[in-house]
Amino acid sequence: MPDLQNPRVAVYLDFDNIVMSWYDRVHGRNSYSRDRQRIAENPAEPEIAERLSAAMIDVGAIIDYAASFGTLVLTRAYADWSSPVNAVYRPQVVARAVDLVQLFPAAAYAKNGADIRLAVDTVEDMFRLPDLTHVVIVGGDSDYVPLAQRCKRLGRFVVGVGVAGSTAKSLAAACDQFDSYDGLPGVSAPVTEKKAETATTTGRRRAKKADDPTPELLGRALRLEQERTDEDWVHLSAVKNLLKRMDPSFSEKALGHRSFSDFVKAHPTVAELDESTNIVRVRLRTDPADPA
């Protein structure tokens, strides 16, 4: 069994997936499909070059995030590296000691080529390197759900990374932890998103109040932890760990909170904190009508 006291991490990037997804995130849904022909024909065309530049992926942010789980044993990126949209990344990924796996498209757009090769290599590596503790899958395709499940059955901690809005919910649920590329340290919000942010802040806040699943999720996690421990007050860290297991895509920072305790404080009708000691505790509020 892998030794979790000495974490060793393998990273697999479906590079085409993350590049196309981020391009769509920056320029709008299906933008890459519409621009694909122009990109292939002349990526130096001023308008296309500007659009590609605005949607550049920060490979370093992904690698640094993966390294936070332990020692990087191997890092592989799967793509057609002869494609202009991917070729510009070669110096960046080589500088981070990433192995470039060349995919030669046998059919139009090499459909599922990266998925199959990445999955085969991952399973092979788990048997070849039994000391691997963590597997990081970068890509939002639901085709990776069986791979994530297999990795977990083989005792590995599975981390997923995908672009918000382009990741299958089933993949996020299949991982032990899932984080959006958008929220990784060092990743800047898309330019188009920044421009729209001021105009839509009020609308987003109203929508969040009207349809926010996190209070229900927090309440469920608290009830489960209280039943498990048979205690009224439970450790805040234990509740966060349980909530992350319930929803691997949960991130308090993505919801605008600096810490998990701030997230809990933002839901006073659901929970209350006890910060009187070094160990912060939390309990389910028994009278949600009166948070005071």
Let me know: does 127 contact 136? Beta carbons within 8 Å: no
How far is C-alpha 200 from the geometric centre of its chain's CA atoms?
24
DSSP state of 251: -
Tokens of 151: 């990795």
Kindly state whether residues 146 and 234 are assigned to the same domain: no
Beta bridge partners of 137: 12, 160
Digit-coded pLDDT (tens) for 108-158: 444 557 788 999 999 999 999 999 999 999 998 899 999 999 999 999 999
Kindly state whether residues 62 and 166 are assigned to the same domain: yes
Kindly state whether residues 244 and 276 are assigned to the same domain: yes
Give the Cβ contact number of residue 202 at 10 Å: 9
Please provide the DSSP assignment of 69-81 as one string: TSEEEEEEEEE-T
Exposed / middle / buried, residue 183 (Cβ in 10 Å: 0-12, 13-18, 19+):
middle
Is residue 151 in a domain? yes
Let me know: does 134 contact 8? Beta carbons within 8 Å: yes
Q: What is the CATH number of the domain that holds 249?
A: 3.30.420.610
Which ranges of 129-232 does DSSP label H, i.e. alpha helix?
145-153, 169-174, 191-210, 214-229
What radius of gyration do the chain's Cα atoms show? 21
How many domains does the chain contain in total? 2
Let me know: does 81 contact 87? Beta carbons within 8 Å: yes
Instruction: Among 191, 223, 258, identify where a domain stops.
Output: 191
Q: Could you tell me which of 80, 37, 33, 31 has the C-alpha nearest to residue 51?
A: 31
Kindly state whether residues 90 and 145 are assigned to the same domain: yes
Tokens of 158: 């599975």
Digit-coded pLDDT (tens) for 82-103: 888 888 898 889 888 899 999 8
Total residues belonging to the chain: 292
Kindly state whether residues 32 and 176 are assigned to the same domain: yes
Let me know: does 137 contact 149? Beta carbons within 8 Å: no
Let me know: does 167 contact 25? Beta carbons within 8 Å: no
pLDDT at residue 215, as a whole number: 87
Q: Could you tell me which of 97, 92, 105 has the C-alpha nearest to residue 76?
A: 97
Q: What is the CATH number of the domain that holds 78?
A: 3.40.50.1010
pLDDT (mean) for 165-176: 92
Is residue 250 in a domain? yes
Is residue 135 in a domain? yes
Is residue 201 in a domain? no
Q: Residue 87 half-sphere exposure, CB side, CA atoms within 13 Å?
A: 7
Is residue 27 in a domain? yes
Q: Residue 128 half-sphere exposure, CB side, CA atoms within 13 Å?
A: 9
pTM: 0.76
pLDDT over 50 at 204, yes or no: no
If pLDDT is split at 50, 70 and 90, which confidence band does 13 have? very high
Instruction: Among 132, 158, 191, identify where a domain stops.
Output: 191
Let me know: does 214 contact 264? Beta carbons within 8 Å: no
Kindly state whether residues 151 and 279 are assigned to the same domain: no
Kindly state whether residues 19 and 142 are assigned to the same domain: yes
Range of the domain at 57: 8-191
